[in-house]
């Protein structure tokens, strides 16, 4: 029978903490890059400019159709060769490009979810299309996209475990190495699951807190 | 003040406005009435180019609205528009709804815009509602905020597309009173309305539309007692008897 030895966790707590912090760091940088990408291509999807619209659709459809793992490997081995990205920036850009496509769809539906009358009212008051977008439509779209954007961030934290495949240091890779030296795979992977859950669940609690505050301020 | 010349407009194969021409002199109030689907909303929306036209010309305050060389954002400053469904900005307070465009478009200072906004809201009986969000206001109050919002740009012309149709009956009066006051002050207005009594009382002219055409134009007294066309007679007997 397998004898559990949980001391491998306590003895290596610093490894887990370091890994978790790296995971959070990489996820946070990725989402910060993914948001502007998503805003640009999300607006591109509904742009009047045909070329911009086409480019945006191609980007979104390709990324949605390619598994993240394949995308990461491709960016690392193909793009990374030319751009000398390394595993750290290679994985950050991979995650950002991946999440960016989903955020683009969130942004698109957020803007389209604002009733048409809002744009019309703003235009009838003399605002240009750009001003109406900036001052009237986007602030309302922003409130709509916060919840799906937050789930995207949570997804990203989980998805970041895949970058261990291209050798970026984070929680999952640290765990793999620890298993290789300690042979305590059940204990290590169980604890890793717990750590991911703690990170994502605390994030959802924080997000829920801000959502209630936001909805209160408007009611 | 408003001059509409031979305007045509289609939605796809559906011809919605056919050769529409109409003059509205300064300080006149025109009621646009007619059955559902007649093209009233479409016509009034072409006057500030919310709706493009296929051909013809619309001149407001000397500016050709649909001319490609016209800066439509400037032209719209002269034209206030009030929607059936208010279209207030839900994330802004009543006062902010009124001040945002003067500040962002005309570059007014916050103080100046708020001073004017408060005056306008007060003149419409909303002095105590400045800080309320639209969701906390009744329909009648929301529509009066929308009127204040349009007036804050100092338009020379006001357009109303069924301003009271979305309101509970007890709130219709307060909105009509606001429009009545504007009429008294000499504002040039086009009002799409189903309020026949109101149209009769404040309008200088009734324009009756059906099937995308202006079928009859007459002074209110004449129109409501003795319209020339059969279409208008049929329409009146329907709306006045129900
Ligand atoms: N965006 C649009 N696309 C296609 N058809 C439209 C559009 N807007 C209006 N129409 C059609 O144009 C015709 C005129 O519509 P319009 O809204 O101007 O009528 P209306 O006189 O304002 O009617 P109501 O009294 O019901 O408001 C209708 O047949 C309508 O279905
Ligand atoms: Mg209509």
Per-residue pLDDT of B199-209, as tens digits, reads 998 999 999 99
pLDDT tier, B136 (very low <50, low <70, confident <90, very high otherwise):
very high
**pLDDT tens digit string along B34-66?**
999 999 999 999 999 999 999 999 999 999 999
Q: Is B135 in the pocket of ligand 1 (CB under 6 A)?
A: no
- The larger pLDDT score, comparing residue A208 to residue B87, is at B87
Q: What is the pLDDT of residues A147-186, one digit of tens each?
A: 898 889 999 999 999 888 887 888 888 888 888 898 888 9
The answer to whether A142 and A110 are in contact (CB under 8 A) is yes
From A203, A152, A163, select the one nearest A39 (Cα to Cα). A152
What pLDDT sits at residue A8?
A: 86
Categorize the per-residue pLDDT at B242 as very low, low, confident or very high, splitting at 50, 70 and 90. Answer: low
Shortest CA distance from A217: residue in chain B: B91
Ligand 1 centroid to Cα of residue B199, in Å, is 22
Contacts of A17 (CB under 8 A, 6+ apart): none
Cα separation, B125 vs B108, whole angstroms:
24
Tell me what pLDDT residue B80 has. 96
Q: What pLDDT digit, counting tens, does each position of A60-71 carry?
A: 999 999 999 999
Distance CA B123, CA B130 (A): 12
| CA A184/CA A12 separation, integer angstroms | 12
pLDDT band at B6 (very low <50, low <70, confident <90, very high): very high
Q: Which residues pair with A136 in a beta bridge?
A: none
The predicted pLDDT at position A1 comes to 78
Burial of residue B210 (CB within 10 Å: 0-12, 13-18, 19+) is: buried
**pLDDT at residue number A219:** 52
Q: Are A206 and A150 in contact (CB under 8 A)?
A: no
Q: Please tell me which of the candidates B89, B104, B106 has its beta carbon nearest to residue A118.
A: B89
Residue B105 to residue A115, Cβ atoms within 8 A: no
Question: Which residues in chain B have Cβ-Cβ distances shorter than 8 Å to A136?
Answer: 89, 100
Helix (H) or strand (E) holding B214: strand B213-218
CB distance B214 to B208 below 8 Å: yes
Q: How confident is the model at residue A218 (pLDDT cuts 50, 70, 90)?
A: low
Cα distance between the two ends of chain A? 60
Tokens standing for residue B88: 């207030």
Calpha distance A150→B99 (Å, rounded): 33
> Does residue B210 register a pLDDT over 70?
yes
Kind plus residue range of the DSSP H or E element containing A200: helix A185-218
Q: What is the per-residue pLDDT for A108?
A: 94
pLDDT over 90 at A217, yes or no: no
| Ligand 1, pocket-test mutation among B7, B13, B15, B16, most atoms within 8 A of CB | B16
Closest chain A CA to residue B133: A218
| Minimum distance, in Å, between the CA of residue A102 and any CA atom of chain B | 26
Cα–Cα distance measured from residue B51 to residue A215, given in angstroms and rounded to the nearest whole number: 34
Q: Which atom of ligand 1 is nearest to the CA of B84?
A: 27
Is some CB atom of chain A closer than 8 A to the CB atom of B104?
A: yes
Q: What is the pLDDT of residue B75?
A: 94
Is the distance from the beta carbon of residue B9 to the nearest atom of ligand 1 less than 6 Å?
no
Angle at A153 between CA A150 and CA A156, to 5 degrees: 155
pLDDT (0 to 100) of residue A142: 86
A172/A187 Cα distance (integer angstroms): 14
| Ligand 1: nearest atom to the Cα of B209 | 21
């Amino acid at each position: 029978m397998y004898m559990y030895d949980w001391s491998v966790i306590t003895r290596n707590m610093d490894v887990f903490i370091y890994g978790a912090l790296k995971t959070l760091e990489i996820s946070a940088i990725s989402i910060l890059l993914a948001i502007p990408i998503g805003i640009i291509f999300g607006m591109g999807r509904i742009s009047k400019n045909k070329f911009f619209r086409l480019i945006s659709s191609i980007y979104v459809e390709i990324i949605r159709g390619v598994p993240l793992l394949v995308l990461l490997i491709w960016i690392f081995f193909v793009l990374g060769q030319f751009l000398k990205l390394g595993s750290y920036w290679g994985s950050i850009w991979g995650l950002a490009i991946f999440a960016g496509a989903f955020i683009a769809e969130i942004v698109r539906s957020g803007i389209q979810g604002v009733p048409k009358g809002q744009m019309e009212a703003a235009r009838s008051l003399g605002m240009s299309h750009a001003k109406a977008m900036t001052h009237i439509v986007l602030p309302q779209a922003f409130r709509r996209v916060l919840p799906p954007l937050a789930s995207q961030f949570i997804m990203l934290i989980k998805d970041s475990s895949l970058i261990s495949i291209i050798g970026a240091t984070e929680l999952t890779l640290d765990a793999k190495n620890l298993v290789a030296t300690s042979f305590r795979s059940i204990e290590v992977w169980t604890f890793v699951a717990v750590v991911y859950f703690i990170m994502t669940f605390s994030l959802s609690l924080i997000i829920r807190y801000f959502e209630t505050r936001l909805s209160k301020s408007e009611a | 003040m408003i001059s509409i010349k031979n305007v045509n407009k289609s939605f796809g194969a559906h011809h919605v406005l056919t050769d529409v021409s109409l003059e509205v002199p300064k300080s006149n109030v025109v009621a646009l009435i007619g059955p559902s689907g007649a093209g009233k909303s479409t016509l009034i929306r072409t006057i500030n180019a919310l709706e493009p036209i296929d051909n013809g010309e619309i001149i407001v305050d000397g500016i050709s609205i649909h001319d490609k060389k016209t800066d439509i954002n400037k032209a719209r400053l002269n034209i206030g528009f009030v929607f059936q469904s208010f279209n207030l900005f839900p994330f802004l307070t009543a006062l902010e709804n009124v001040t945002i465009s003067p500040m962002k478009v005309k570059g007014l200072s916050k103080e100046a815009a708020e001073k004017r906004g408060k005056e306008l809201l007060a003149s419409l009986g909303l002095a105590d509602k400045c800080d309320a969000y639209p969701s906390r206001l009744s329909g009648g109050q929301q529509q009066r905020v929308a009127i204040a919002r349009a007036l804050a740009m100092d338009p020379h012309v006001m357009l109303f597309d069924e301003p009271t149709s979305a309101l509970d009956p007890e709130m219709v009066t307060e909105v009509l009173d606001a429009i009545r006051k504007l009429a008294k002050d000499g504002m040039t207005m086009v009002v799409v309305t189903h309020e026949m009594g109101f149209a009769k009382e404040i309008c200088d002219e009734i324009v009756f539309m059906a099937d995308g055409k202006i079928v009859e134009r007459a002074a209110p007294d004449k129109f409501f007692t003795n319209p020339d066309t059969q279409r208008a007679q049929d329409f009146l007997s329907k709306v006045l008897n129900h």
